[in-house]
A and B are shown apart, each in its own frame.
Chain A
Amino acid sequence: MLFKKYFLIIVFFLFTTHSSLANEELKNKIYKNVRCIVCQGQSIYESNSDFALDLKKLISKKIDSGESEKQIYDFLISRYGEWIVFSPRLNFNSLILWLLPLLVFVVGGFLIFRLNRGKK
């Protein structure tokens, strides 16, 4: 009986420390991906401004209460717009962002191909 109790306690500790470690990593990951909108181009991870610190506190609370990364981004984006999150989400605007260079690649490749062909 005693063993079982200790076993459970140990497992509990391991679980919480492991998940608190994972939590820390997750928090840092999110901080690096959230823009400090009162700063110039920094993430809230890199900023010590009031706004950044407030957001960090809020996000930290949310993670500790079990919210997911996506939920947090949704929360922020619904209040501050797409711009607050660094990785561009896939929507119409960002589609152009990804497609434009690829278009250049394809067109360029086509031109080179024609160049190669024409000379034989």
Chain B
Amino acid sequence: MNIKYRIIILTITLLIIFALFLKVLNSNKVYQPNQMIGKKISAFVLEDLFDKKIKINSKELLDKDFVVINIWASWCVPCRVEHPLLMNLKKNNQINIIGINYKDERMNAKNFLKTYGNPYQLVGVDSDGEVSIKLGAYGVPETYVLNKGKIIFKNIGPINEDVVKKILQLKK
């Protein structure tokens, strides 16, 4: 019957809409742009946190197989939360992390590292945030894994156990 046929179509349509919106409601709200995966990082030069005369140049990272970059700040609460995991990566797994101190005061940054420990091999100062934007970051903390200068992994927000596992996997 025409009526039955229409009701069936109606039911199917509404079920599809229901499923779609259910997916929408359950989806991740944090915007995770994965544009940069596979792309080469922009060139940058940063002053070292502890010694202004030393410059950290992105060129030096281009030939390394495995580089971890972590963007952080002393005023950033989630950075405090992920900090122990970064310390572990350095102590237990001997991973060299390059820190980029984002829009911070040098004094505060140094105090932060003195109080909680320094997981970084090197720390560069990005006082106006420009370099971070060039990398495609939009907040703190963010963590990147590079292979020969190309971004192979990006994590927005504080790292957790899963991210640590992923990083260790990538090292191989």
Contact = CB atoms under 8 A, between A and B. Distances in A.
Contacts of A57: 128, 130
13 contacts: A37-B138, A38-B138, A38-B139, A50-B129, A54-B128, A57-B130, A58-B133, A77-B35, A78-B39, A79-B133, A80-B138, A81-B31, A83-B33
Contacts, number: 39
B36 interface: yes
B35 A54 contact: no
Contacts of A58: 130, 133
Interface residues of B, number: 16
Name the interface size band of chain A.
Answer: 10 to 19
A4 B139 CA distance: 53
B130 A54 contact: yes
Interface of A: 37-38, 50-51, 54-55, 57-58, 77-81, 83
A51 B129 CA distance: 9
A107 to B, nearest CB: 15
